[in-house]
Structure 1
Amino acid sequence: MRTVLNVIWLLLCGIWLAIGYVLAGVVCCLLIVTIPFGLASFRIADFALWPFGRQLVRREDAGAPSTIGNVIWIIFAGWWLALAHLTTAVALAVTIIGIPLAWASLKLIPVSLVPLGRIIVPTDDAQATRYPVVR
């Protein structure tokens, strides 16, 4: 079922979201100082392509730099992105068939608000909170 939902999501919403996040990531990486935000945008783009069967968890080793970066991110980009995902979710939920897609859009709100110090893991992993950190 996840595969079917991911394919429908990809065709209707995911590809456009991923392209937007990748473009934002490229711009952030070009500006040198904002490279961490660019990498976070690439991570969000990956999650936006295939949201079903995956979840966002906090990294064990995330510290003060991630928190400071997330505060800056929320001020300049996070709340706009969260509002856009919420609006999209409401528009998708109006139709009965769009309810699972609305759920996926709502799943993207936490990662769009605080992307630094987070990793995306499969939901099948019974110990997702203890998922090994990839460096």
Structure 2
Amino acid sequence: MKTLLNIIWLVLSGFWLFIGYMVAALIMCVLIVTIPWGIAAARIGVYALWPFGKTVVDTPNAGVASLLGNVVWVILAGWWIALEHLLSGIALCITIIGIPFGIANFKLIPVALMPLGKQIVDTP
């Protein structure tokens, strides 16, 4: 079932989310200072490509630097991206068929809001 949902997700929205996050990651990797956010955006892009069967967990050894980076991210871009995932998720949940895809968008909100200090792992 996860594979079928991932294939439908990939065709309908996952590919475009992946492209958007990867373009943002490439732009952020141009400057040395913004490379951590570029890596985080690439990680989100891979997660957005194939979200079913994966979950986001906190990195146990994330320190103060990731907290400060997340504060900067939230102020500059994170809340916009999280709002877009929230609105997309609500729109998808209007139909019964779209509910799993809306939930997938809701799963992207925490990592889009604060991406540093997070890991994407397979669900058991």
Output the TM-score relative to the length of structure 1.
0.90
1:61-102: per-residue Cα shift (whole Å, max 9, x none)? 100000000000000011000000001011111111100000
1:5-32: per-residue Cα shift (whole Å, max 9, x none)? 0001110010000100000000000122
DSSP-derived class of the 1:115 partner: coil
- The answer for the alignment partner of 1:38 in structure 2 is 38
Question: Partners of 1:31 and 1:63 in 2: how far apart?
Answer: 22
Residue ranges of structure 1 left out of the alignment (5+ in a row): 125-135
Residue ranges of structure 2 left out of the alignment (5+ in a row): none
DSSP-derived class of the 1:95 partner: coil
**Sequence identity, in percent?**
56
The 5-angstrom pairing of residues 92-131 of structure 1 reads 92-124=92-124
Question: Partners of 2:53 and 2:120 in 1: how far apart?
Answer: 10
Query: Deviation at 1:33?
Result: 1.3
After superposition, the CA RMSD in angstroms is 0.6
Question: Partners of 1:16 and 1:31 in 2: how far apart?
Answer: 24
The 5-angstrom pairing of residues 1-135 of structure 1 reads 1-124=1-124
Which letter maps to 1:13?
A: S
Question: Partners of 1:52 and 1:74 in 2: how far apart?
Answer: 25
DSSP-derived class of the 1:108 partner: helix
Question: Partners of 1:57 and 1:96 in 2: how far apart?
Answer: 28
Output the TM-score relative to the length of structure 2.
0.98
Which letter maps to 1:108?
A: L
Query: Deviation at 1:103?
Result: 0.4
Question: Partners of 2:50 and 2:6 in 1: how far apart?
Answer: 5
DSSP-derived class of the 1:30 partner: coil
Question: Partners of 1:33 and 1:60 in 2: how far apart?
Answer: 24
Query: Deviation at 1:41?
Result: 0.4
